[in-house]
């Protein structure tokens, strides 16, 4: 990625594609402790009206965080990340994170971003923003 001083308002960052594996909700449950049955049991997810099991929202948020730390070039520079979970993500989806630099003040950059599945048809994270310093 470009150095912070080379990033300008209006600049879009390259979209990041994140494939969700069949077992990703189970792996994430193991690392996060979130074993809610809507995440790990497809039949329970169907019973709950979700059509199957869904990925944990914080895992989807982590895809956004990775896009921002890649943009910053240093994980320690990500100072704030805010997201709104708009729709569920399912195993075997591909989550694409994209956005642009909203403003820049010295070494502080504000980024507006979102995440989509189904080739950009379904927005799964909206009204997201990050601050990089």
Mean pLDDT of residues grouped by 10 in the chain (133 residues)?
Answer: 78 95 97 97 98 97 96 93 98 97 94 95 97 95
| Contact between residue 77 and residue 4 where contact means Cβ atoms under 8 Å apart | yes
List Cα–Cα distances, 76 to 17, 79, 119, 127, 133, in angstroms: 22, 7, 31, 23, 9
75 burial level (CB within 10 Å; 0-12, 13-18, 19+):
exposed
Output the pTM of the full model. Answer: 0.93
Task: Identify the active-site residue in 26, 41, 52, 57.
Answer: 57
Query: 52 catalytic, yes or no?
Result: no
| Contact between residue 88 and residue 54 where contact means Cβ atoms under 8 Å apart | yes
pLDDT at 125: 98
pLDDT at 1: 53
pLDDT at 2: 59
Domains and CATH numbers, the chain: 4-20+55-132 (3.10.129.10)
Query: 34 catalytic, yes or no?
Result: yes
Query: 57 catalytic, yes or no?
Result: yes
Task: Identify the active-site residue in 4, 7, 38, 39.
Answer: 39
Query: 74 catalytic, yes or no?
Result: no
Task: Identify the active-site residue in 34, 41, 52, 70.
Answer: 34
């Amino acid at each position: 990625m470009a150095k912070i001083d080379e990033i300008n308002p209006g600049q879009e960052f390259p979209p990041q594609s994140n494939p969700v594996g069949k077992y990703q909700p189970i792996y994430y449950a193991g690392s996060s402790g979130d074993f809610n049955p809507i995440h790990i049991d497809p039949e329970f997810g169907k019973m709950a009206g979700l059509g199957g099991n869904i990925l944990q929202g914080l895992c989807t948020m982590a895809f956004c965080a990775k896009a921002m730390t890649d943009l910053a070039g240093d994980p320690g520079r990500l100072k704030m990340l805010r997201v709104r979970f708009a729709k569920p993500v399912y195993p075997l989806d591909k989550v694409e994170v994209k956005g642009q630099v909203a403003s820049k003040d010295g070494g502080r950059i504000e980024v507006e971003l979102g995440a989509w599945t189904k080739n950009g048809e379904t927005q799964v994270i909206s009204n997201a923003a990050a601050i990089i310093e």
